[in-house]
Amino acid sequence: MRIACDIDGVLVDVREYLEKYLPHDWEAYFSHTLEFPAIKPMKTLLYHLSCYPREDIYFVTGRPESNRHLTEQWFQKAGPTYQGQAYKIKYQ
């Protein structure tokens, strides 16, 4: 089975930052990427799904390419784990 999970608003709680910066200042919004808290129930669900070897989990986002590095850092710091390890990000 393939599972797709959006990042902002599904895996990451961005409500505070949405209210503060959008729709006018996307650059300031994305500068806080490393501060965005994970939504714990989603993080837990993704961990449990990763324990089944036939589950393919894809993260999708509308974030700009310029935010890729911070997004990868966020996954290492606060993101969900795959069988106890940080997800390895592959781009398609």
* Within a domain: 91: no
pLDDT at 56: 79
CA 8 to chain centroid: 6
Residue 92 counted as domain residue:
no
* Residue 60, H or E segment: strand 56-60
Residue 7 has what pLDDT?
93
pTM assigned to the model: 0.80
Q: How far is CA 68 from the centre of its chain?
A: 11
Residue 12's identity, in one-letter code, is V
List C-alpha distances in Å: 56 to 35, 42, 48, 53.
27, 16, 12, 8
Domain containing 47 equals 2-86
Q: Is the pLDDT of residue 91 over 60?
A: no
- What pLDDT is attached to residue 15? 93
- The band of 89, judged by pLDDT with boundaries at 50, 70 and 90, is low
Q: How many domains does the chain have?
A: 1
